[in-house]
Amino acid sequence: MNLRWSEIPISFDRRDHWVHLPRLGAYPLVVNPVIRRIRLARVLIDGGSSLNIIFAKTLEDMGFNMTKLVPSDQAFNGIILGAGSTPIGKVTLPVTFGTWDNYRMESIIFEVAPFETSYHTILGRQPLAKFMVFPSHTYLLLKMPAPNRVLSIRGDIQMSHSCETENINTAEALERSNNQAVGAQAAKALTMDQLQKPSNNSEPES
């Protein structure tokens, strides 16, 4: 089977170096493609995931009619600590990289998550293969074949840092909330005898 675009060579070299990139490899790769004719600034590239995820709030903010979602039972975990769940549905949306004179557009199936993170959406392995994207976390850069030349989509370091910080804070807050809930449940399980204070008049054991 011949893959479309496979005849176009893609490479990385010193021209892709950042002038200064602190903490090499510490930042997630966050880009800003156009999805359903709206540019989204916080799109995480996650080549380790088999799912593409868009968050319900993102869809609602885009003006999408949520009654048009297709049912889905694909559970997911690990996006954010303690936030594993089942999608409320799935949706197929056009995703576009590039500019009017040189762009790529593909239809991508997204699972719709009922919770929020700092990202608008997460692109997994399937769209990377569909676009024939080569991601580089060394350079925080995507390269893909396109009609006129190779498209280079550079990540935004400041946005990456902001998203990562927000997710860490959210995960820590969720963990504290879960711990408090566990503590409250344990307290309710105590019997009244366990909760009673010892009497000051109790005699010491001989």
User: For the residues 122-129, what does the mean pLDDT come to?
Assistant: 93
What are the structural domains, with CATH classification, of the chain? 30-163 (2.40.70.10)
Report the alpha-carbon distance of residue 74 to residue 66 in Å, rounded. Answer: 18
User: For the residues 48-52, what does the mean pLDDT come to?
Assistant: 86
Residue-wise pLDDT tens digits, 76-101: 765 654 555 788 999 999 999 999 99
Report the alpha-carbon distance of residue 25 to residue 30 in Å, rounded. Answer: 13
| Number of other residues whose CB lies within 10 A of the CB of residue 203 | 6
pLDDT at 72 over 60: yes
Q: Do the beta carbons of residue 123 and residue 46 sit within 8 Å?
A: yes
DSSP 34-93: EETTEE-S-EEE-TT-S--EEEHHHHHHTT--GGGPBP----B--SSTT--B--SEEEEE
Least confident of 2-16, 25-39, 68-82, 171-185: 171-185
Please tell me the predicted confidence (pLDDT) of residue 141: 94
Residue-wise pLDDT tens digits, 140-161: 999 999 999 999 999 988 898 8
Please tell me the predicted confidence (pLDDT) of residue 17: 86
| Number of other residues whose CB lies within 10 A of the CB of residue 83 | 17
Q: What sign does the dihedral 19-121-52-172 (CA atoms) show?
A: positive
Least confident of 26-30, 31-35, 42-46: 26-30
Q: Is the pTM of this model over 0.85?
A: no
pLDDT bracket for residue 181 (50, 70, 90):
very low
Average pLDDT, the chain: 82
More confident residue, 50 or 124: 124
